[in-house]
Homo-oligomer: A and B are copies of this chain.
């Protein structure tokens, strides 16, 4: 470790070391002030980040949302002080030094891990390891899609990632790397912080992967460099930028906690403050005599100059974009804001009209596909896909063109058997702006991508999960493929809209809801098995939008309310008919979305659910239903894993029948 380097990089007279040490000092001081945090990574990667920001990254701190900026993703999100330091030093709006001083405090922009939306310049929320690199694959893919649509003059940027050992140990990294290599996303550059340390100690305890060889095996270019040698970093970045044939891994050998006199290179710098003594020693070792949070003016000015490096390029871009015409703005803005949703509404109306007179029994996954046939032509922003279940999910329509290596004019992604990578890539696509991603797999496999679904919700991104085969109704594939607890588990995630339409018209309505909600991800839970349309009239109103509504109200008032979702709504309808024959008046309520219903005024909820006993039916566990059953309500559902058999036999075997619903109703209705 030499502290005496004096490499001067172009453009400023301030030494590289001083600029990198500014990051190191801010990181260790902020962590110390917060009494918690991760100083080691920012100190180790300060050299890499300094060269990246000074020389490579195209950005203008004054306009964090410039569509053609390079993206910078800190996948190793625990090193958040690296990002916050850079945002402050380069002058991002709102990132004052006070925010660094309030690191990890309530209400600060500087949360423990970078939270998208808390501060300008945080491209994505990271912390759960491996998510950032997989988001970046989505961003790099979105870049190619928009590049093809808008041309090199408008969209043509790189996506940079800093990833750590943890990111590369997580399984999601494989899905991300493999997909990026397959698609040849050559403008994706991953800087691996190869510091040889994880929380439990040296990484030799747990991992011996040859990362360079691993990335090459997945179709990447890969090199290893000294992550403390600015010239080597500079050369590697220049080389990677010049060769976009494949994505790049630059493995940067670094020392965690670089500069700390006794702790550098040790796990103890990873996740806790260095301590006053060690910080004092670090100041001495780095020749950084300045007070905590104090950046000498020349250094700060040099950094601010870096923040303005892209200003002229951005101005030129603005001009080009304006000249190119209004389609550019439209393509890069929120499709909801751009009025595109009005076209979607028309498409949905058309679909509902067609469905209302369609007497065929179809699975809701098929109704979904038919709805998409209407939506896709009017919403080119929509990027479809599936994790290798295209035909089963009904995610591809006749207007879809698949995307492939060197061929980004399409609007459909074959994500492969990579549910987690797909979901994280969709987050990246949504974050890129201007595009709406949806992707399919079986509902049971939401488990495989749950960490990314959670981040869709936490970041309030419009990502649409088309989750088919939503119950034991998938039949013979058996318990491993049958969701039982998944509706409950998904409904548990804040801000996620879980919609389980019962038939064709509801399915079209749920698509409209998913597309309109630009600050919520949605799950569409769709059936494998065919259902009849229960609504024969194409109401102008989107009935599903209130979450639940009265499908049928008996004359003379109700004795009991039967509530159903999805394919089980038909059981409620059938039970109501049987009960009517016995003089029991049952109202039937369809509840495609608990979240939307919960958001209604109490008066509406009371009106729909009524004041009579309630019976709910759903091919899932009871947990989410106690909220709606009222006093003495009954639930007809499941409490154990499914079985392997044809669907009708399973429904009978598990007691999910109209007769069971009717029995439950009878038991509740006072004679």
Q: Interface stretch among A139-147, A425-433, A617-625?
A: A617-625
- Distance of A161 from chain B, by nearest CB (Å): 16
Of all chain B residues, which has the CB nearest A475? Answer: B36
CB atoms of A199 and B392 under 8 A apart: yes
Residues in chain B near residue A649, CB distance under 8 A: 106
A residues 624-651 near B (Cβ < 8 Å) are 624, 626-627, 631, 639-641, 643-646, 649-650
Is A115 engaged at the interface, CB distance under 8 Å to the other chain? yes
CB atoms of B417 and A621 under 8 A apart: no
Bound together, the chains give a CA A421 to CA B172 distance in angstroms of 11
- Distance of A146 from chain B, by nearest CB (Å): 22
Residues in chain B near residue A657, CB distance under 8 A: none
Bound together, the chains give a CA A653 to CA B106 distance in angstroms of 9
Residues in chain B near residue A207, CB distance under 8 A: 178, 182, 416
A residues 194-249 near B (Cβ < 8 Å) are 198-201, 203, 205-211, 213-214, 216-219
How many monomers of this chain does the complex have?
2
0/1 per residue, A238-264, Cβ < 8 Å to B?
A: 000000000000000000000000000
- Distance of A590 from chain B, by nearest CB (Å): 21
- Distance of A639 from chain B, by nearest CB (Å): 7
Is A37 engaged at the interface, CB distance under 8 Å to the other chain? yes
CB atoms of A492 and B481 under 8 A apart: no
A residues 426-460 near B (Cβ < 8 Å) are 444-445, 447-448, 450-451, 454-455, 457-458
CB atoms of A171 and B173 under 8 A apart: yes
Residues in chain B near residue A389, CB distance under 8 A: 199-200
Is A127 engaged at the interface, CB distance under 8 Å to the other chain? yes
Bound together, the chains give a CA A154 to CA B161 distance in angstroms of 49
Of all chain B residues, which has the CB nearest A628? Answer: B626
Residues in chain B near residue A646, CB distance under 8 A: 104-105
CB atoms of A644 and B481 under 8 A apart: no
**A488-B623 contact in complex given A174-B174, A477-B112, A481-B113, C-beta closer than 8 Å:** yes
CB atoms of B199 and A388 under 8 A apart: yes
CB atoms of A213 and B217 under 8 A apart: yes
Residues in chain B near residue A68, CB distance under 8 A: none
Bound together, the chains give a CA A645 to CA B552 distance in angstroms of 49
CB atoms of A175 and B171 under 8 A apart: yes
Is A356 engaged at the interface, CB distance under 8 Å to the other chain? no
In this complex, which of A108, A201, A418, A644 has the most chain B Cβ atoms within 10 angstroms of its Cβ? A644
Bound together, the chains give a CA A165 to CA B418 distance in angstroms of 11
Is A125 engaged at the interface, CB distance under 8 Å to the other chain? yes
**A209-B200 contact in complex given A112-B478, A169-B416, C-beta closer than 8 Å:** no
A residues 93-123 near B (Cβ < 8 Å) are 104-108, 111-113, 115
Bound together, the chains give a CA A53 to CA B359 distance in angstroms of 53
CB atoms of A112 and B392 under 8 A apart: no
Is A391 engaged at the interface, CB distance under 8 Å to the other chain? yes
- Distance of A477 from chain B, by nearest CB (Å): 4
Q: What is A's interface to B at a CB cutoff of 8 Å?
A: 34, 36-37, 77, 104-108, 111-113, 115, 125-129, 165-166, 169-175, 178-179, 181-182, 198-201, 203, 205-211, 213-214, 216-219, 386, 388-392, 402, 404, 414-421, 444-445, 447-448, 450-451, 454-455, 457-458, 475-481, 484-486, 488-489, 491-495, 621-624, 626-627, 631, 639-641, 643-646, 649-650, 653
Task: Give 7 nearest A-B pairs by CB, closest first.
Answer: A171-B171, A206-B416, A174-B174, A626-B626, A127-B480, A111-B644, A106-B645
17 contacts between A and B (CB under 8 A): A106-B643, A106-B645, A112-B477, A112-B481, A113-B477, A127-B480, A128-B480, A169-B417, A170-B417, A171-B174, A174-B174, A182-B207, A201-B414, A445-B451, A448-B451, A488-B492, A494-B639
